[in-house]
Amino acid sequence: MQVLCKASNSVSDIRCNVCGQGFLVYWTRTSSTERGFAREGIQQGLRAQHQGSEDASVHPAVGFNLPEWVGEAGSSLGIAPEWATA
């Protein structure tokens, strides 16, 4: 399952285990069980962004897809609000 992540300093659906950055997560319509399994994949993707870098700002400030997506963020899902991809 692919999700769109957007960094958020106020509210979050998930946090990076490495740096604590919060993210809003936009899913395709799925069951809560599927979203639960996807959370581990999201955590792995966020950890991978830290590999090879000691910089705390390794996560994109604009919306990005996990797993990675070639093309505009959100175009694979079609559900993200405009502000999430800007």
Q: Give the tens place of pLDDT for each residue, 40-83.
A: 889 999 999 999 887 767 998 888 888 764 445 444 444 455 55
Q: What is the mean pLDDT of residues 11-27?
A: 91
Is pLDDT of 26 > 80? Answer: yes
Token pair for 22: 């919060």
Is pLDDT of 84 > 60? Answer: no
20 vs 37, higher pLDDT? 20
**How many whole angstroms separate alpha carbon 38 and alpha carbon 62?**
21
Q: For the residues of 29-41, what is the DSSP string, one character each?
A: S--HHHHHHHHHH
* Number of domains the chain is built from: 1
Domain housing 68:
3-85
85 vs 66, higher pLDDT? 66
**How many whole angstroms separate alpha carbon 13 and alpha carbon 32?**
13
Q: What's the predicted TM-score (pTM) here?
A: 0.72
Q: What is the mean pLDDT of residues 17-36?
A: 85
Token pair for 36: 């639960």
